[in-house]
Amino acid sequence: MKFLDLAKVYIRSGGGGAGCVSFRREKFIEYGGPDGGDGGRGGDVWAEAVEGLNTLIDFRYQQHFFAKSGQHGMGSQMTGKSGDDIVLRVPVGTEILEEDEDTVIADLTEVGQRVLLAKGGNGGWGNLHFKSSTNRAPRNANPGQPGVERTIYLRLKLIADAGLLGLPNAGKSTFLAAVSNARPKIADYPFTTLHPNLGVVGVDGHEFVVADIPGLIEGASEGRGIGDRFLGHVERCAVLLHLVDGTSENVAEDARTVLTELQAYSPILMDRPRVTALNKIDALDPDTIAERRAELGAEIGGPVHLMSGVAQQGVTEVLRTLWTEVAPTREIIKDEPDAPWQP
């Protein structure tokens, strides 16, 4: 299945049915009277977060979603049938945006959350509603209200506890494959990862989800390479793991490049808790490791972990550090009172 995290969708709610102009014609009833029924209500357009989806690929093949219109009213005071609603089933973590791709309509972060995107039109009144003491035989009825038509964007941001950052070939996919059952593509050339991957990792009896995104390069915020479009998938993460390739000749510059692009994308994301690890230490001698660790620590102004995803060195210590940042967010969610979600 292809990964798709942005989709443009055209929606339209159903129009209301028109009211009916009708008169009773019954035996032994001398004057009869109006008996036109009301039109049915048009269908609504909803969006709902469901389980089992992790991509918006379905919306590439169907972009138009139109709810049914209400049926017209009929004689004998019969109200028309209401139009059927239509529901857009989206993955958990989907943001719904206005056509400007900036204004957020809703953010569906839990299974079962629903939001009304377009309300159906009301049905028109039949001529029975217009009967009065001075107008015994009204010959007018209301048309139904038209439906609402709009263009929206669906943007998926994956739900993960920890996110991986780094330059291309920093070893992010190798790390994810080493600590989880995820099987991302791994190769010895840049931009092997073309779309985000998720993996469930475990340490000391605890489990959490890690997201791997394509590598960043200098100028990514300006559209170079794959750009920063995938950074949205780590916005929801409680902690970021910044992997730096230890075999690089200038680890400080590599770290600076990633942090600069992170700052350009979102200062809020820049302030997120971050764990830095010098990767691929299995290919270095102890003196080089110490030298580059000190260089990297001076650049980021914090501690630097040593690890190797291939050789499984230092991986457990890194996972434990990540869990110390993830655990408080789990407690916050656990302590929050349960309340029905309102659209």
Length of the chain: 343
DSSP state of 250: -
In the beta sheet, which residues pair with residue 33?
24
Angle at 224 between CA 5 and CA 174, to 5 degrees: 65
Q: What was the pLDDT predicted at 185?
A: 59
Quick one: which of 67, 66, 106, 68 has its CA closest to 90? 106
Other residues' Cβ atoms within 10 Å of the Cβ of residue 68: 19
Residue 227 annotated as lining a ligand binding site:
no
Residue 280 annotated as binding site: yes
Check whether 283 has a pLDDT greater than 90.
Answer: no
To the question of whether residue 281 is assigned a binding role by annotation, the answer is: yes
Q: Is 100 annotated as a binding residue?
A: no
Q: Is 258 annotated as a binding residue?
A: no
Q: Please give the residue that has the higher pLDDT: either 333 or 70.
A: 70
Average pLDDT, the chain: 83
Q: Is 277 annotated as contributing to ligand binding? A: no
Is 212 flagged in the annotation as binding?
yes
Q: What is the percent of the chain with per-residue pLDDT over 70, rounded to a whole number?
A: 87
> Nearest Cα to 108, choosing from 154, 151, 67?
154
Helices (H), strands (E): how many in the chain? 6, 16
1 confidence band (pLDDT: 50, 70, 90): very low
308 annotated binding-site participant = yes
Q: Regarding the domain with residue range 162-335, which homologous superfamily does it belong to in the CATH classification?
A: P-loop containing nucleotide triphosphate hydrolases (3.40.50.300)
Tell whether residue 21 is among the known ligand binding residues.
Answer: no
| % helix, strand, coil for the chain, step of 5 | 25, 25, 50
The confidence score (pLDDT) of residue 312 equals 84
Does the annotation list 4 as a binding residue? no
Q: In the chain, where are the structural domains located?
A: 6-156, 162-335
The predicted pLDDT at position 193 comes to 54
Q: Would the pTM count as exceeding 0.75? A: no
Calculate mean pLDDT across residues 306-317: 87
Measured between alpha carbons, how far is 131 from 144 in angstroms, rounded to an integer?
19
pLDDT in tens, 150-187: 999 998 887 788 888 888 877 888 888 888 876 655 65
Check residue 47 and give its pLDDT: 93
248 marked as part of a ligand binding site = no
CATH architecture of the domain with range 6-156: Distorted Sandwich (2.70)
Residue 22 annotated as lining a ligand binding site:
no
Cα 217-155-11 angle, rounded to 5 deg: 150
pLDDT at 246 > cutoff 50: yes
Lowest mean pLDDT among 72-86, 170-184, 197-211: 170-184
Mean pLDDT of 265-274: 82
194 is in an annotated binding site: yes
- Predicted local confidence at residue 226, as pLDDT: 56
215 is in an annotated binding site: yes
What is the model's pLDDT at position 119?
93
Strand order in the sheet with 64-66: 64-66, 6-12, 149-156, 94-97, 104-108
- 305-306 and 197-203: which strand pairing? unpaired
Whether residue 13 is annotated as binding a ligand: the answer is no
Per-residue pLDDT tens over the stretch 34-78:
999 999 999 999 999 998 887 888 898 899 999 999 999 998 889
Q: Is 73 annotated as belonging to a binding site?
A: no
193 is in an annotated binding site: yes
pLDDT tens, residue by residue, 111-147: 889 999 999 999 999 988 898 888 888 988 999 999 9
Element (H, E) at 208: strand 206-212
Please state which of the ranges 16-20, 40-44, 270-274, 316-320 shows the lowest mean pLDDT. Answer: 270-274
